[in-house]
Every structure is written in structure tokens, then in C-alpha cells.
Amino acid sequence: MSNTNNTEEIKIQGEHLMAKVKDIIREGNARKIMIKDKDGKEIFSFPVTAGVVGIVLAPVFAAVGVIAAVATECTIVIER
């Protein structure tokens, strides 16, 4: 069995970052989410596990909110 990762990249403006991350988590088919700056440097990365509740994700959402406040353009990399 080969271990291939299915990834998707989405370029997005900072003000839309939080809503998009929440949508990806709500879809439920992502294993890992990575946020990169406009130069492609990884800023933040976190695993998404099935059955994660909102309380556990609160610190993640706080970090994403800070990134969204300072980032003008970024890329979300979704590993499925």
C-alpha cells in the first residue's frame, strides 16, 4: 500500500482566514491544516482529528485569529 497524501492549497486574504479554517474543520475530511505566508513559509500547522470538540480547538482559533489580523495574504494547505 502506498502512502500518498492528498493535499489542496487555497490562497486567501487574511480577513477570510478564520471562516475558511472553520469551514474546513466542519467538513470533517481534513487530517492536517497548515497556514503559510505569501512567501510560502509555514506560519502555523495543526492536526485535525475526528471528534474534536470546540473547547479543544479554542486555542487554535485564537492563533488563527492572530495570524489573520497580521497577514494580508496567505495560503491554507489541507492534507486529506
Residue 12: its pLDDT value, please?
93
Domains recognised in the chain with CATH numbers: 7-79 (3.30.1490)
Query: Which residue's entry shows cell 506560519?
Result: 43
pLDDT: which is higher, 20 or 67? 20
pLDDT band at residue 3 using 50, 70 and 90 as cut-offs: very low
Count CB neighbours of 17 within 10 A.
21
Long-range contacts of 2-7 (CB under 8 A, 24+ apart): 5/79, 5/80, 6/79, 6/80, 7/77, 7/78, 7/79, 7/80
Give the pLDDT confidence of 25-69 residue by residue, as tens digits.
888 888 899 999 989 999 999 888 755 656 667 788 888 888 887
Q: Which helix (H) or strand (E) holds 74?
A: strand 73-79
